[in-house]
């Protein structure tokens, strides 16, 4: 018995859907006869019979999605010795190709009788594209079947023939032949370069922090119905205020102002400082304002948390932010410094980002990203055009917990605060 399995047809597939069978139980089939049509994420393909024989059993019904390696149907093979390569002889006779230079050299060898060849139509197509006589290839597949890899390996060896033996000298009266030979050489070189490009990929272990990040992101994205609201804020006054502070030898990052302003806005819109418990059908409005800071490190994304940000001054937030960021970069964060966040910010502006749709840090309700600040002409209220320092923002929120209008109101409140820092930064100390 011969099992016909769903195999990787060269597209890196992992599964496929059985569309239709071209045969039924009891049918007699010939080698390379199409048996079944499958749909992958990239293409539709026909799987041919590896042997001649009879269909004994169909294992997987059409319409099912199965993994690579799954047996689709079972054949009862005929004695391979009785096979006559009629189809092969017809195909090789009809599909006559111009002889390559390599084949001109091989033509000097004694002629041999045609042998029985097992190869899928796709494999034969590849062989024809490289001007290869498929009979000359030794198959490494089941029952000596020739695979695509066998064709590539053969072409590699063929094209390693020394140039002095590979190209016979053309006579002075055969400039056309010389041009043809040169074209053949360049064509084969290009094909060989193409084969060389098919190198094995580098394998990176998918474990540790990367795997944990993937798990958390997947959980968040497929649990929370995300909606992202885009807004922009004028940071001209904030940047000017920071320069004033620098002159007094007070150095405070813009991110510290962002965190403090977010905390003040959350107090007015506590629905975004909340967590949904679907099982018990309740929403918890957190009384602590613990702001997570999405931080990029060599080991991946980490979110240290500034606890009780509402109780801290802007300067204290700046100091904690500086300490936590350094510890995150050095891999020295304590577990307690990454727990119990209630809202997260992502300051990707320094990285050059101008926009994104951030993923919420589950089980929180919202996350806001601050993007690159750049100078732009802005029409002021009196229709005067001025150059202002504008920053894009994008806030993702859980639409199960809050509606879009509330998200707009929340970001508008943040804008009012961050655009007028002197009105509330009396808490600076």
CATH architecture of 208-428: 2-Layer Sandwich (3.30)
What ranges do the domains of the chain cover? Answer: 2-81, 85-197, 208-428
- Catalytic residue, chosen from 62, 226, 307, 399, is 399
**What's the confidence (pLDDT) of residue 420?**
93
Q: Which residues of 312-349 are buried (b: 16+ CB within 10 A; e: fewer)?
A: bbbbbbbebbeebbebbeeeebeeebbeebbbbbbbbb
**What's the confidence (pLDDT) of residue 378?**
95
pTM exceeding the 0.75 threshold for the entire prediction: no
1.10.3720.10, 2.160.10.10, 2.40.50.100, 3.20.20.150: CATH of 2-81: 2.40.50.100
Classify domain 85-197 at the CATH class level.
Answer: few secondary structures
**What's the confidence (pLDDT) of residue 64?**
85
**239 phi-psi bin (left φ>0, alpha ψ -120 to 50, beta other):** alpha
* Catalytic annotation present for 399: yes
The secondary element (H helix, E strand) that includes residue 55 is strand 53-58
Kindly give the confidence (pLDDT) of every residue in the chain, 429 residues in length, as a single tens digit, with 9 standing for 90 and above. 899 998 876 545 677 888 789 899 999 999 888 899 887 654 557 889 999 999 999 999 987 888 889 999 999 988 644 444 433 333 333 333 333 433 443 444 444 444 556 777 667 777 877 888 888 898 888 777 788 788 888 988 888 755 444 444 555 555 555 566 666 666 666 666 655 556 778 888 776 667 778 888 999 999 999 999 999 999 999 999 999 999 999 999 999 999 999 999 999 999 999 999 999 999 999 999 999 999 998 778 899 999 999 999 999 999 999 999 999 988 888 888 999 999 999 999 998 999 999 999 999 999 999 999 999 999 998 999 999 999 999 999 999 999 999 999 999 999 999 999 988 865 555
Q: Which backbone phi and psi does 141 adopt, to 5 degrees?
A: -80, -175
- Cis previous bond, 179, omega within 30: no
Q: Which residues of 359-396 are buried (b: 16+ CB within 10 A; e: fewer)?
A: bbbbbbbbbbbbbebeeeeeeeeeeeeeebbbbbbbbb
């Amino acid at each position: 018995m011969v099992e016909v399995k769903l195999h990787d047809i060269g597209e890196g597939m992992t599964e496929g859907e059985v569309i239709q069978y071209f045969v039924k139980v009891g049918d007699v089939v010939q080698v390379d006869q199409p048996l079944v049509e499958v749909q992958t994420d990239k293409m539709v393909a026909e799987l041919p019979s590896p042997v001649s024989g009879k269909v004994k059993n169909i294992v997987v019904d059409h319409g099912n999605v199965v993994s690579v390696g799954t047996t689709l149907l079972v054949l009862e093979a005929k004695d391979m010795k009785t096979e006559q390569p009629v189809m092969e002889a017809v195909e090789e006779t009809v599909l006559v190709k111009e002889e390559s230079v390599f084949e001109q050299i091989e033509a000097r060898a004694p002629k041999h009788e045609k042998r029985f060849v097992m190869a899928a139509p796709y494999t034969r197509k590849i062989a024809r594209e490289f001007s290869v006589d498929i009979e000359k290839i030794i198959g490494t597949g089941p029952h000596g079947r020739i695979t695509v890899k066998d064709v590539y390996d053969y072409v590699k060896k063929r094209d390693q023939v020394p140039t002095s033996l590979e190209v016979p000298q053309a006579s002075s009266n055969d400039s056309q032949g010389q041009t043809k030979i040169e074209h053949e050489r360049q064509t084969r070189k290009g094909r060989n370069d193409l084969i060389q490009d098919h190198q094995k990929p580098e394998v990176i272990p998918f474990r540790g922090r990367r795997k944990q990040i993937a798990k958390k992101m997947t959980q968040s994205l497929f649990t929370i119905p995300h909606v992202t609201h885009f807004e922009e804020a004028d940071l001209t006054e904030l940047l000017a205020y920071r320069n004033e502070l620098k002159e007094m030898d007070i150095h405070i990052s813009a991110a510290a102002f962002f965190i403090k302003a977010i905390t003040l806005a959350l107090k007015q819109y506590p629905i975004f400082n909340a967590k949904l418990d679907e099982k018990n059908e309740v929403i918890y409005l957190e009384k602590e304002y613990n702001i997570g800071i999405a931080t990029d490190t060599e080991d991946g994304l980490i979110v240290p948390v500034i606890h009780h940000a509402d109780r801290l001054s802007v300067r204290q937030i700046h100091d904690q932010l500086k300490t936590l960021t350094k510890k995150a970069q050095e891999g020295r964060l304590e577990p307690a410094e990454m727990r119990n966040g209630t809202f997260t910010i992502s300051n990707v502006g320094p990285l050059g980002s101008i926009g994104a749709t951030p993923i919420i840090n589950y089980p929180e309700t919202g996350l806001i990203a601050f993007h690159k600040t750049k100078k732009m002409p802005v029409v002021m209220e009196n229709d005067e055009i001025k150059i202002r320092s504008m920053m894009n923002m994008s806030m993702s929120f859980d639409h199960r917990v809050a509606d879009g209008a509330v998200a707009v109101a929340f970001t508008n409140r943040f804008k009012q605060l961050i655009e007028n820092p002197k009105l509330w930064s009396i808490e600076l100390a």
